Amino acid sequence: MSTTGTPAKVSPFSRAVSDAGVLAWRSLKRIPRTPDMLIYATIQPIMFVLLFAYVFGNAIPIPGFPGARAYREFLMSGIFAQTMAFAVASASVGLADDMSKGLIDRFRSLPMARSGVIAGRVVGDVVFNAFVMLVMVICGFIVGWRWHNGIGQALAAFAILLLFAFAMLWVGALIGLSVGGPEVAASAGLIWLFPLTFLSNAFVPTPNLPGALQPVAEWNPISSIVAACRHLFGNPSPFASPDGFPAQHPVWLSLIWCAVIIAIFAPLAVNKYRRATSR
Amino acid sequence: MAAIEATGLVKTFKSRKNSVKALDGIDLEVPEGSVLGLLGPNGAGKTTAVRVLTTLMAPDAGSARVLGHDVVKEADTVRGLVGLSGQYAAVDELLTGRENLWMFGRLYRLNSSQAKQRADELLETFDLTDAADRILKTYSGGMRRRLDLAGSLIAHPKVLFLDEPTTGLDPRSRLDLWQIIRDRVSEGVTILLTTQYLEEADELADSIVVVDHGSVIARGTADELKAKVGGERIEIVVHDPSETARALELLTAALEVTDPDATTLDQHNKRITLPAPGGSTALVAAIRTLDGAGIRIADVGLRRPTLDDVFLSLTGHAAEEVES
């Protein structure tokens, strides 16, 4: 009946890459078929840009950078980083959904790499986030944001943002595989991100924060991403302690944070997957 | 060699409040090319047994081998040799039928064109070619289940695990699926099938293992199990509910039933059943007795025992009764 060949012998590494590729393909195929998700995922950052730029823009002064437009220059990196952080939710909801529908069981019964399902999800979501970022960049240009250090440094900033999304998606994967269902995963994936993003330099310059919160906000991983982007874009980037490590080495700190998050959460998520069972 | 062998499987689920022994020392042996029906109510441990045998879950104690490979130590080898089709059609509902099968093919280590070809073959076999490029959301329950089953056959598995393959399907789709399963059997595939439907086990399985509360409570062929509850039975529904007790008394005497436990009386449904060792002779005697006593009969019949009777007599509750 069949003329199909026998499966090829491959190394564990190329198997992991191939499986992640197949699962990423699956994630990307699904996106245009869930148009509501696509619409919300792009409208939300646009809404944030407009609200913050025009509502808070005139009320929040940027120390050392006078003028209303300074806030918009300051703001965009914050919105970028926030949106990448919120990618957590797409991974947690996606995996929780697969789990509740029995797909995780199916994948676990296949001779695939143990990292394949999560890695595929993460890679697919990074590609999706790159698209969302493009929409935000256009929106930023419309409200008057610019980069000032050339396209090379701007691309480096976008790469850091996507690396950050990649790191945060592993956190989302762990959450998604740990909670009961997609509804819980949505709130469990997001709730802790609000204090994390608002206790940062994303929307309010850290010198404007109460003294006790300043060091917390400046070492916050989200702040490090934001500061690295502001540095690379050449946007205003005020610090409460301009001599501290976060102010002096924003790019290094952002990379260290991404590496730390991946090193902790990728193994935890894969380990969780190995033992994941629906119901 | 047995295709599936399990010895002393134990699996306990612990939560904060209590612990439940889903498997309490189960032994199984399925000869190559045969179909084993794993029968039991919800919560009996059927799905847990399938999870252990398909490497999704490690047992707390005991061991299992599939085609000679240990399901814990050689899990990856086992995964490449078996197919699993679950109770909840585990397919991606936002992909098309063809895309789903291609994806599973790739994950079974076929290259892209092999996976494409295998998907086409399976779509054809399962009569899904017309629906191949539609998103699964538009599929009926029966079509989804067929696709799910197709997904488990990609690597030409020698052993197939079907966890309640027809639960929730309409009768027509169930018959279709049974035919598909019979076709696999004729190709020599070994199948372990769990079901709550006694009729399904009766139709498809060569031998049956009945589980309840994580333990095997009976095993044998359908006929052997039926023989355990005795031969044919008479079932009589009387017209007047107040006469059921008298009718049972008269019939017990007339048919010389010595064991009162072998009879049943259902006051609510006015129904009496008794063993009928003589078959139709006993039936005639029963009708004469009741007629002579002036008891009106609403319905009467001779019934061969079903697996429901087996289950009821083994466990004291019906198979489809949901346990808390």
Chain A residues inside the 8 Å CB shell of B92: 26, 30, 103
Q: What is the arithmetic mean of pLDDT over B291-314?
A: 79
Which residue from A minimizes the CA distance to B99?
A26
CB atoms within 10 A of CB B222: 21
User: Which has more confidence, A195 or B88?
Assistant: A195
| Cβ–Cβ under 8 Å, residues B216 and B210 | yes
The CATH topology of domain B231-304 is: Alpha-Beta Plaits (3.30.70)
Q: Minimal Cα–Cα distance from B242 to chain A, Å?
A: 48
Tell me if B107 and A112 make a contact (CB, 8 A cut-off). Answer: yes
Q: How far apart are CA A47 and CA A116, in angstroms?
A: 34
Quick check: helix, strand or coil at residue A217? Answer: helix
Position B324 confidence tier, pLDDT thresholds 50, 70, 90: very low
Domain range list for chain B? 2-227, 231-304
Chain A residues inside the 8 Å CB shell of B108: 7, 110-111
Copy the structure tokens of residue A44.
């939300």
Tell me if B109 and A2 make a contact (CB, 8 A cut-off). Answer: no
Q: Minimal Cα–Cα distance from B160 to chain A, Å?
A: 12
Position B171 confidence tier, pLDDT thresholds 50, 70, 90: confident
CATH class of B2-227: alpha beta
| Cβ–Cβ under 8 Å, residues A172 and A88 | yes
- The pLDDT of residue A174 is 95
Side by side, the strands of the sheet bearing B233-238 are B264-266, B271-275, B233-238, B297-303
| Cβ–Cβ under 8 Å, residues B204 and B165 | no
Close Cβ partners of A42 (under 8 Å, ≥ 6 residues apart): A132, A135
The CA-atom distances, in angstroms, between B218 and each of A227, B10, B215, B305 are: 69, 18, 9, 16
Q: How far apart are CA A95 and CA A125, in angstroms?
A: 12
Tell me if A8 and B111 make a contact (CB, 8 A cut-off). Answer: yes
The CA-atom distances, in angstroms, between B127 and each of A40, A67, B141, B317 are: 38, 68, 14, 39
What average pLDDT does chain B have? Answer: 87
Q: How far apart are CA B33 and CA B190, in angstroms?
A: 4
User: To the nearest 5 percent, what fractions of chain A are helix, strand and coil?
Assistant: 75, 0, 25
Compute CA A257 distance to the chain's CA centroid, rounded to the nearest angstrom.
13
Chain A residues inside the 8 Å CB shell of B55: 108-109
> Does the CB of A2 have a partner CB in chain B at under 8 Å?
yes
Copy the structure tokens of residue A183.
């509804």
- The pLDDT of residue A278 is 53
Q: Is A14 exposed, middle or buried (0-12, 13-18, 19+ CB in 10 A)?
A: exposed
User: Which has more confidence, B88 or B112?
Assistant: B112
Copy the structure tokens of residue B54.
């398909």
Block means of pLDDT (10 residues each) for chain A, 279 residues, are: 51 91 95 85 86 83 82 92 91 91 90 92 93 91 92 96 96 92 87 90 90 91 96 92 90 97 96 76
Query: Helix B141-152 vs helix B171-186: angle between axes, to the nearest 10 degrees?
Result: 20
Mutation target vs A (from B71, B85, B104, B106; most A CBs, 10 A cutoff) = B106
Position B318 confidence tier, pLDDT thresholds 50, 70, 90: low
User: Which has more confidence, B147 or A102?
Assistant: B147
- The pLDDT of residue A8 is 55
Q: How far apart are CA B260 and CA B275, in angstroms?
A: 10
Which among A8, A26, A30 has the least Cβ separation from residue B109? Answer: A8
Position B322 confidence tier, pLDDT thresholds 50, 70, 90: very low
Which among B88, B95, B114 has the least Cβ separation from residue A4? Answer: B114
User: Which has more confidence, B294 or A223?
Assistant: A223
- The pLDDT of residue A9 is 64
Compute CA A185 distance to the chain's CA centroid, rounded to the nearest angstrom.
16
ipTM over 0.90: no
Q: Minimal Cα–Cα distance from A175 to chain B, Å?
A: 20
Q: What is the arithmetic mean of pLDDT over B194-204?
A: 87
Tell me if B88 and A4 make a contact (CB, 8 A cut-off). Answer: no
Q: What is the arithmetic mean of pLDDT over B224-252?
A: 80
- The pLDDT of residue A5 is 45
- The pLDDT of residue B317 is 63
Q: To the nearest 10°, the Cα dihedral for B139, B140, B141, B145? A: -50
Tell me if A105 and B86 make a contact (CB, 8 A cut-off). Answer: yes
Which among A8, A30, A105 has the least Cβ separation from residue B94? Answer: A30
Beta bridge pairs of residue B162 = B85, B193
- The pLDDT of residue A40 is 82
Which residue from A minimizes the CA distance to B71?
A109
Q: How far apart are CA A174 and CA B227, in angstroms?
A: 53
Q: With helix as H, strand as E and coil as C, how does chain B read?
A: CEEEEEEEEEEEEECCCCEEEEEEEEEEEEECCCEEEEECCCCCCHHHHHHHHCCCCCCCEEEEEECCEECCCCHHHHHHHEEEECCCCCCCCCCEHHHHHHHHHHHCCCCHHHHHHHHHHHHHHCCCHHHCCCEHHHCCHHHHHHHHHHHHCCCCCCEEEEECCCCCCCHHHHHHHHHHHHHHHHCCCEEEEEECCHHHHHHHCCEEEEEECCEEEEEECHHHHHHHCCCCEEEEEECCHHHHHHHHHHHHHHCCCCCHHHCEEECCCCEEEEECCCCHHHHHHHHHHHHHCCCCEEEEEEECCCHHHHHHHHHCCCCCCCCC
Close Cβ partners of B207 (under 8 Å, ≥ 6 residues apart): B34, B35, B36, B37, B219, B220, B221
User: Which parts of A61-181 fold into alpha helices (H)?
Assistant: 68-85, 87-100, 103-108, 116-143, 150-178
Which among A22, A102, A111 has the least Cβ separation from residue B86? Answer: A102
Copy the structure tokens of residue A111.
């001779």
Q: What is the arithmetic mean of pLDDT over B81-102?
A: 89
* Low-confidence winner among B92-96, B160-164, B195-199 (lowest mean pLDDT): B195-199
- The pLDDT of residue B113 is 96
Q: What is the arithmetic mean of pLDDT over B119-140?
A: 94
Tell me if B108 and A29 make a contact (CB, 8 A cut-off). Answer: no
Tell me if B118 and A106 make a contact (CB, 8 A cut-off). Answer: no
Beta bridge pairs of residue B191 = B35, B160
**A222: nearest Cα among A243, A246, A244:** A246
Close Cβ partners of B185 (under 8 Å, ≥ 6 residues apart): B33, B35, B191, B204
Query: Helix A250-275 vs helix A150-178: angle between axes, to the nearest 10 degrees?
Result: 30
Beta bridge pairs of residue B301 = B235
Close Cβ partners of B241 (under 8 Å, ≥ 6 residues apart): B267, B270
Copy the structure tokens of residue B50.
């399938």
> Does the CB of A114 have a partner CB in chain B at under 8 Å?
no
Mutation target vs B (from A38, A110, A112, A117; most B CBs, 10 A cutoff) = A110
* Low-confidence winner among A4-8, A140-144, B98-102, B183-187 (lowest mean pLDDT): A4-8
Which among B104, B135, B156 has the least Cβ separation from residue A110? Answer: B104
Copy the structure tokens of residue B202.
């009766």
Determine phi and psi for B266, rounding to 5 degrees.
-115, 95
